[in-house]
Structure 1
Amino acid sequence: MVSLICTLRDHRDDINWCAFSPKLLATCSSDKTIRIYFTQDFSELAFSPLTGHGYGVHCCCFSPCGQYLASCSTDATTVVWSMDTGDIVTVFEHPGRSPVRVCVFSPDASLVSGASDGTLALWDFQSKTLRRTGASTEASIVACSFAPCGQMFATGSTYGDIRLWDLELNSFQAVKNAHDLGVTSCHFSPKIQEDGHMSQFRLASCGQDSQLKIWLVSRHTTAGCKVQLLHTLVGQSAPVLSCAFSADGQLLVSGSVDKTVTVYDANQGALLYTLNHHERYVTACAFSPVTSLIATGSMDKTVNVWRVDDGISGLGDEGKSLPAESSNDENVARMRNLSTTGRKLLGHSRLLVCDWSEEDVLAWLCAEGLEALVSTFKANNIDGGELICLTKETLAAELNIDSVGLRNKVMRKIEELKMTLVCTGVPDELLCPITREVMKDPVIAADGYSYEREAIESWINSKNRSSPMTNLPLQTTVVTPNRTLKMAIGRWKSSQ
C-alpha cells in the first residue's frame, strides 16, 4: 500500500520539481526558492530556503554523492549549492542567456543543462568550466535524464521528440513524435541489464498526450542503439507532467494535470495505485534512492511525502509528522544540529513589507531570533521600506554589523520575508509573471500578458526577445501601459 505520511506547506507558489539524496529532499518553486529537508523527520535545514535565483526555479538535482545541489531557472543560470553550508559554489550562465528548464548531474558529476531555445550545455563541475554545447531543435528542452552507465543521456522537448546523446553532445538516436503535443518529463531506470556486448536500459517518458510510456533502450558495442516501446500507460485522464522510477526499477510513479499520482508495476505496466490528495496539477514526483519514499509536488503549493509498503497507515496531512528513525550517521547528526527547531509565524496583518512601522520591524527581528540587532535597528529608525532595501554593504558600512555570518542571516531572512508577505494572499493577476511580486507599473507585452515594466524591459534586452510565458518570439518589443490593472492594484492595496 501507499501511505501519505506528511505534507510540506512552505512554498508560496507552484512546486516545479522534487529531488532526493540519500539523506535530503529538495523542492523548488516558482516562488524563486529551493527548500531542503531531512528525510528522517522532514524538518527543514537551517540554511533553507535557498534564495539565489532571480526568477522561478524550474528544476533541481543532487550530485551523485549528495554533497551538492544544482538548480536552474528562468534567469538563465544553473546554480550549484553546497549541502553542508547552503552557500553557492558556482553559477553557470547558459550560453545565449536563454531560460534554463532542466538540469541533471551525470554519475561522474558532470552537469547538463537544457534551455528554452533548444540548446544543451555540458559543464565540468570540478573545473567549473563549459565543456561543450549542443542543439536539438528550436523547441524547448524540458526533460533530461542520464543513463545509469553515465555514457549517454536522454532529452525530451516541447516538439514531442526524445533524443539520445553521448558525452560529446552528439545526438545518435531520436524518437520522433514520442508524445503528441510535447514531452514533459523523462527518467532512466537506475538498473542496467547486460548481455554480452549489449547493455539495456529502461526509459520512462510522459507528455501532453496524457500518456506515460516505457521504452527499452538497447545499446550494442558494434551495432549501435535501438529504442523499442514496451508499454503505453493510460491511467491518467489529462497531460502527465512528471515521472520517476524507483531505486530498484520495479515501480514507476507519475503526476498529472488531473490532480492524481499513479504508481505502476514498471515490469508489467500494470496500474497499482491512484492517489488523490493534491488539489491542483501534480507537477513533480521523485523516489528516494535508499528508502521507499515518494515525494510529489503540485500547483497547490504543497509537497506530499508517501511511503510505499505494507501495513503502515498514513499519518494524515496535518503537518510534518513522520517519526524520526534512529541513526548513527555523524554527518546527519551534525547537520541536524544546524536545523531550525521551528519557525514562528509573523503576526502582522499587512501584506506589504513597505507598510511596516519601526515597531513592526523590531517585532520581526525578535520573531526571527535576531534580538541582538533590535537596538541597532531602533537607533537607525529602520522601518519596513528601509528594511527591504538593506544590502550586505549597508549592513556593514551603515549599521556596523561586523559579523559576516550575521549579515548573511539577515539578508536570507529579508529575502524570505519579502517572498512570504508579498506573495501570500495576493490575487495572482496582480503579480508580475517574471518577478512574482505585486506590480507597480504594469504593462502589456506583445504576447498579451501583463508584466512589471522594468522586468519585461530587462527581459527583452537580455533574452532574445522571447515571451517569458510562451517562449515564442515577441512580434514587437513595444509595451503598452495597463492602466486598468494599475487601478485594480491600487484598490487592492487600499483594502489591505
Structure 2
Amino acid sequence: MVKLIHTLADHGDDVNCCAFSSSLLATCSLDKTIRLYSLSDFTELPHSPLKFHTYAVHCCCFSPSGHVLASCSTDGTTVLWNTQTGETLAVMEQPTGSPVRVCRFSPDSTCLVSGAADGTVVLWNAQTYKLYRCGSVKDGSLVACAFSPTGNLFVTGSSCGDLTVWDDKMRCLHSEKAHDLGITCCDFSSQPVSDGEQGLHFFRLASCGQDCQIKIWVVSFTHILGFELRYKSTLNGHCAPVLACAFSHNGQMLVSGSVDKSVIVYDTNTENILHTLTQHTRYVTSCAFAPNTLLFATGSMDKTVNIWQFDLETPCQARSTEDQAKQFTEDWSEDDVSMWLCAQGLSDLVGVFKMNNIDGRELLNLTKESLADDLKIAPGNHESVFCL
C-alpha cells in the first residue's frame, strides 16, 4: 500500500521538520537552511535554499494559502518568507530572545504562534507582523503546537510533558500532564467526530512524547458548554521516544516517527497499525501529509527526507483501505493525477490524461472500455495499476 517514491538528500545536517502546501514541500535543518521543492517532480525551486537564520532551524510551516512560509530558529527569530520568490517578508524576534522551537499559522492565516525554549508563547498578527499577545507556561520548553481546525483555540506541548490549551485571545483554558518525560509533537485532525447523543462535534488531538507513546484525545469547545479535553486511548507501536505525529487531511490515518528509526501509519478509526516503514537509518524527527493527495513525507537525522505514496493497487485487494484511498483521490487535481502516473512508471500517458482533463474523480471512474474507446489507450499491464 505504501511505497517510497523519492528521497531528498540536500541538507548537510539533521532534518528537523517538513511541511506541505498544495504544491510545495518545505524542509528545514540543523544546517540553518530551509529548502523548497515542487510537488510536480520534487525538483528544488530556483530560490531555494532560503538563508537567513544564524543557527539551527527547528520548525517550518505554510500559511493555509501556501503563499507564505514561516520558519523558526535557535537564533530567537521567526521569519516569514514569500514562497514564490524566496523574499523575506518579516523577521519577528521572540521578546525574550529565547530559541524558538515551534511555529504554527491559524487556519484563517490571521495569526501565527511561536513557542520558545524558555516557555514563552507569542501570538503574532500575521498581517502586520506585530506582537498581539504573549504568555508562558510555568515549566519546560515549548516544543509542540497545533491549532484546532476552527481556529478558536490552540494547544502547546512542553518538554515537561504538559498539554496547555489557549483560546484565540491567549487565555489559558486548561493544562494537564500528558506524557512522562516530555511532549515532542501534537496535531489536530481536521475532521470532526460527531456525538450522536448531544449532536455536538469534537476533534481528535494526537500527542506524542519521550514515553514512547502516542495519546489520542477528544477536544470540544463551545461558548455554551466551555472547554473539554478528554483522554481517549494510547497507541504503543513504537519501542522508543516518538518524535513526530501527523493526521492525514481526511482524518483517516495518523503517521508517526520515532527514535527507533521507524515510521508507523495507523488507521485512526480502528487504531490498528497499517504499515511500519524502516528505510531511515537514524531517528525520524518529522512527518507530514500532503493535502488532497496520497503523499506523505518523513524527515530524519540521517539528513534525508523520504516521500511516500499510498499505492492504488492495494485498495483492489484490501477493502479496509479502499474508502481511505478514494477519499484522497476524489480531490486530486489534474496535476496530482499526472504526478501519480509518473510515480507508476506511466509518464507516457500524462499527455493523454491532461488532454482529456482527467482529475481524481475521473480517474476513479475509468473502465477498460473508457481507456480504450475514450482515451484510445491500448490494453496492457496498466490495467492492474488502474484496478479495472
TM-score for both structures, normalised by structure 2: 0.79
Corresponding position of 1:147: 148
Is the Cα–Cα contact under 8 Å of residues 231 and 269 in structure 1 kept in the other structure? no
Corresponding position of 1:5: 5
Matches within 5 A, 1:153-232: 153-176=154-177, 178-193=178-193, 198-232=200-234
CA deviation map 1:292-345 (0-9, x unaligned): 101000000000000023327xxxxxxxx85776798xxxxxxxxxxxxxxxxx
CA deviation map 1:138-197 (0-9, x unaligned): 310000000100110111000101111101111101222x11100000000011245677
The AA in structure 2 aligned to 1:138 is D
Corresponding position of 2:129: 128
Moved over 6 A (4+): 323-328
Corresponding position of 1:305: 307
How much does 1:13 deviate?
0.2
Structure 1 distance, partners of 2:47, 2:220, is 43
The AA in structure 1 aligned to 2:118 is D
Matches within 5 A, 1:4-153: 4-109=4-109, 110-153=111-154
Is the Cα–Cα contact under 8 Å of residues 116 and 141 in structure 2 kept in the other structure? yes
Moved more, 265-274 or 276-285: 265-274
The AA in structure 1 aligned to 2:240 is A
Is the Cα–Cα contact under 8 Å of residues 188 and 203 in structure 1 kept in the other structure? yes
How much does 1:262 deviate?
0.2
Matches within 5 A, 1:369-388: none
Structure 2 distance, partners of 1:200, 1:38, is 34
1:269 aligns with 2:271: yes
TM-score for both structures, normalised by structure 1: 0.62
The AA in structure 1 aligned to 2:42 is F
Corresponding position of 2:254: 252
Unaligned runs of 5+ in 1: 313-320, 329-496
The AA in structure 2 aligned to 1:258 is D
SS at match of 2:173: strand
Percent identity over the alignment is 56
Moved more, 9-18 or 218-227: 218-227
Structure 2 distance, partners of 1:128, 1:228, is 35
The AA in structure 2 aligned to 1:284 is S
Is the Cα–Cα contact under 8 Å of residues 113 and 120 in structure 1 kept in the other structure? yes
How many residue pairs end up in the alignment?
319
Structure 1 distance, partners of 2:135, 2:67, is 28
How much does 1:226 deviate?
1.6
How much does 1:108 deviate?
1.5
Structure with the larger helix share: 1
How much does 1:290 deviate?
1.7
Is the Cα–Cα contact under 8 Å of residues 199 and 219 in structure 1 kept in the other structure? no
Structure 1 distance, partners of 2:300, 2:75, is 22
The AA in structure 1 aligned to 2:98 is S
Structure 2 distance, partners of 1:193, 1:293, is 24
Structure 1 distance, partners of 2:270, 2:227, is 23
How much does 1:127 deviate?
1.2
CA deviation map 1:180-236 (0-9, x unaligned): 100000000011245677431100110000001111112233221221222211111
SS at match of 2:51: coil
Structure 2 distance, partners of 1:128, 1:53, is 18
Matches within 5 A, 1:280-299: 280-299=282-301
Is the Cα–Cα contact under 8 Å of residues 193 and 204 in structure 2 kept in the other structure? no
How much does 1:58 deviate?
0.1
Corresponding position of 1:450: none
Corresponding position of 1:349: none
SS at match of 1:185: strand
The AA in structure 2 aligned to 1:13 is D
SS at match of 1:95: coil
SS at match of 2:207: strand
SS at match of 1:46: coil
Is the Cα–Cα contact under 8 Å of residues 198 and 219 in structure 1 kept in the other structure? no
SS at match of 2:191: coil
Is the Cα–Cα contact under 8 Å of residues 153 and 165 in structure 1 kept in the other structure? yes
1:241 aligns with 2:243: yes
Is the Cα–Cα contact under 8 Å of residues 155 and 164 in structure 1 kept in the other structure? yes
SS at match of 1:112: strand
SS at match of 1:122: strand
Structure 1 distance, partners of 2:259, 2:47, is 32
Corresponding position of 1:477: none
SS at match of 2:50: coil
User: Which is greater in Rg?
Assistant: 1
Structure 2 distance, partners of 1:199, 1:220, is 10
Structure 2 distance, partners of 1:70, 1:274, is 31
Structure 1 distance, partners of 2:39, 2:152, is 30
CA deviation map 1:373-396 (0-9, x unaligned): xxxxxxxxxxxxxxxxxxxxxxxx
Structure 2 distance, partners of 1:220, 1:62, is 27
The AA in structure 2 aligned to 1:82 is N
Corresponding position of 1:338: none
